[in-house]
A and B are shown apart, each in its own frame.
Chain A
Amino acid sequence: MPLTRKDLLGLQDVPAHEIEEILNTADMMRSILYANTKKTPHLQGKSIVTLFYENSTRTRMSFELASKYMSAASANISASASSVSKGETLIDTGVTLDQMGTDVIIIRHPMAGAPHLLAAHVKAAVINAGDGMHEHPTQALLDMLTMRAHLGGLAGLRVAIVGDVAHSRVARSNVLGLTAMGAQVVLCAPPTLLPPEIARTGAVVAPTVEDALAGADVVMALRIQLERQQRGLFPSVREYCAHWGIDKKRLALAKPGALVMHPGPMNRGVEIASDVADGVQSVITEQVQGGVAVRMALLYLLTRKGAGA
């Protein structure tokens, strides 16, 4: 069943059955990744553009490889962050890509809402690959895909997310997606890195990292950026690590066999200890593989519109 939506701008308005559809399709796509010849004709005759106003390695590469594995014509545009305010307007860029016959535009942008602006002005399908502090829906989908593969389902899971929630689009998308799927998300962060009234979006806020991890099925650490310290949001890496870092001792509070996840790139020894990141419970490298599968699934589903059921 193809998705009826034109774009994927966030998980805010994506109902559980659509998430389910995307994840099921991604599971099928995963088998292509295991195959000896990674090539399918699913996107033959389609053109896909990544339009990135921020640096990215894994997200961009996984979209690009997903396009190539499925025989699409793909192109990449890197725009510097400064070109956002000084260069061509986003709408003009989008219209230009539309005129070239682009079927899907994958956009990463430092400003929340930019994919919405683009989507409103182009015929192409728009996929949000991260907009400011807002959403990163494909990351949450690949996280859910990974959890589902290991834990059987999402409903009833307790997922602890620890770190810089305030600036994290990964956290926001995971809260929305996991909550829609019946999981409980427990957040923990230094109070200065917790967005206001986050509890009203469906998540639970735990007072301490120990409370957050207690009985968790999944423990996800978020990247902490050093510039947050420079802006005064936390005093030192040392203190952050002491209070919110995920180490073996804290992980032991979670359910036996709880999954350890991280959207990457990691600061080893800061938000996550190396022995946890590389330990038997870690599925961090597997997340990356799930990322390609999820993006293959989305590209497929979003380009099948109008192709008949």
Chain B
Amino acid sequence: MSKLLVRGGRVIDPANNLDGACDLLIEDGLVAAVAERIDAPDAQAVDAAGLLVLPGLVDIHCHLREPGYEYKEDIASGTRAAAAGGFTSVCCMANTHPVNDCAAVTAFIRQQAGRVGSGVRVYPIGAVTKGLDGAELAEIGEMKAAGAVAVSDDGRPVRSGRMLRLALQYADYFDLPVLCHSEDMDLVDGGVMNEGEMSTRLGLRGATRAAEEAAVARDILIAEALGKRVHICHVSTQGSVQLIRDAKARGARVTAETAPHYLAATDAWVAQYDPNTRVNPPLRTEQDRLACIAGLADGALDCIATDHAPHHADEKKVEYLLAASGISGFETAFALCWTHLVEASYLTPGELVRRMTCAPAAILGLPGGTLSVGAPGDVVLIDPAKRWVVDPARFQSKGKNTPFVGNTYTGCVRRTYVAGRPVWGD
């Protein structure tokens, strides 16, 4: 019987409104006790003095790239990166090759995670439509049986409103949420960065914020008319936050995420044409950044998801227009959020932890995200005072694509445990 005793840390467990100095005991892979003082002489003890003790972080939106794009990332490197970032549960999007649009691919991802993964729990997200091409529904029921926890055509929107409507109805039968990449591609019109002063200065084609907002509005309204639930991915604009806030206020069943890069960077970062700033939706303005933060603070936005999107260096060492979209995000996510939300006094530590643990877990009905007795023994130890410089050469991820290189952030993941077993740590 394995026992792990995490002693003397500051335990933050928002699901139980707990924030205080506590010991934590994990037994047989499950949380056994959280108390001011626990004596367990037979347990392996870990000194957490000066550290935060949090439920393992939960990421409901990432790209592990396997099968098919192992040159960008594979399940082994991706789950190592997740562990290094403090994540114990990650949900990987379906835009692999082949697309995860059938049970065989879903099962492969689960098996591969078991075979070569770091121990971090991997939950596949199935495609909404076959081949992500928006024409025919994928076999959602089969994928659910094989372990899919949601469906999404992420990487692209479900272009047809009719198809999205069918998907919302059909997926609901299997109790799977539909995660929407909400963008009107017609309005995006080839834009590669936010449309505004910076796109004008740089001569890059801009994507209007209305391209995202029009799609967010459409997706909410289609779901609302059906009375079904819908989840909006990677919200990046003030207008989207407000649309979601309003929808929630009138009782629509909508949830939403934003990503760390929208909280930590703006379109001003594109100034030197650094292809690592290219991401979809694009980095927006300071006003949008602050609106996303406000949305997390008041609950308009439910959670933070990384949209970890690793790419090969060759795909970024090209003209901005030719560069692949995405940021390798696992290993900077917590520090970016801690620095820009907690240190900047927008969110309390407990509020941030909620947005990265129990809130995302609740959206997809995942176990974990809390340290309740009987919950999975997934825990992360973080030094909240440690300042560190982002050096992608030290990433566990194969994707070194980050615009945050060379910047200093606060908050350093020290140890990560899944079911009481170490998956990352010094």
Contacts and interface: CB of A to CB of B under 8 A. Distances in A.
Contact of B318 (A90, A131, A134, A200): A90
A200 B205 CA distance: 17
A132 interface: yes
B319 A84 contact: yes
Nearest to A121: B317
Given A89-B318, A117-B318, A196-B197, A133 B205 contact: yes
A169 B202 CA distance: 10
Interface stretch (A55-63, A68-76, A108-116, A297-305): A108-116
Contact of A135 (B203, B205, B321, B322): B203
Nearest to B189: A231
Please indicate which of the listed interface residues B200, B202, B318 has the most CB atoms of chain A within 10 Å of its own CB: B200
A169 B196 contact: no
A85 B199 CA distance: 22
A172 interface: yes
B157 to A, nearest CB: 22
Nearest to B273: A113
Given A169-B203, A196-B195, A112 B320 contact: yes
Contacts of A274: none
Interface string A136-180: 000000000000000000000000000000000100100000000
B89 to A, nearest CB: 38
Interface residues of A, number: 26
A138 to B, nearest CB: 16
A111 B320 contact: yes
Contact of A198 (B200, B273, B320): B200
B394 interface: no
B201 interface: yes
Interface in B288-345: 314, 317-322
A227 interface: no
B407 interface: no
B368 to A, nearest CB: 43
Given A84-B319, A89-B317, A134 B202 contact: yes
Given A89-B318, A109-B319, A112-B321, A133 B203 contact: yes
Contacts of B320: 111-113, 117
Contacts of B321: 111-113, 132
A84 to B, nearest CB: 7
A181 to B, nearest CB: 18
B160 interface: no
B17 interface: no
A200 B319 CA distance: 26
A133 B203 CA distance: 4
B322 A112 contact: no
A201 B319 contact: no
Given A111-B321, A113-B320, A200 B204 contact: no
Contacts of B16: none
A196 B201 CA distance: 10
A85 B322 contact: yes
Contacts of A112: 202-204, 273, 320-321
Interface in B176-210: 195-197, 199-206
30 contacts: A12-B201, A85-B322, A89-B314, A89-B317, A90-B319, A91-B317, A111-B319, A111-B321, A111-B322, A112-B204, A112-B273, A112-B320, A112-B321, A113-B204, A116-B273, A117-B273, A117-B319, A131-B203, A133-B205, A134-B203, A135-B203, A172-B200, A172-B201, A172-B203, A196-B196, A196-B199, A197-B197, A200-B197, A201-B197, A201-B200
Q: Which 8 A-B pairs have the closest CB atoms?
A: A134-B203, A113-B273, A112-B203, A133-B203, A197-B197, A195-B200, A111-B319, A111-B321
Given A84-B322, A135-B203, A200-B200, 15 more contacts: A90-B318, A111-B322, A112-B202, A112-B321, A113-B203, A113-B319, A117-B318, A117-B319, A132-B204, A134-B203, A196-B200, A197-B196, A201-B197, A201-B200, A201-B201
Interface of A: 12, 84-85, 89-91, 109, 111-114, 116-117, 131-135, 169, 172, 195-198, 200-201
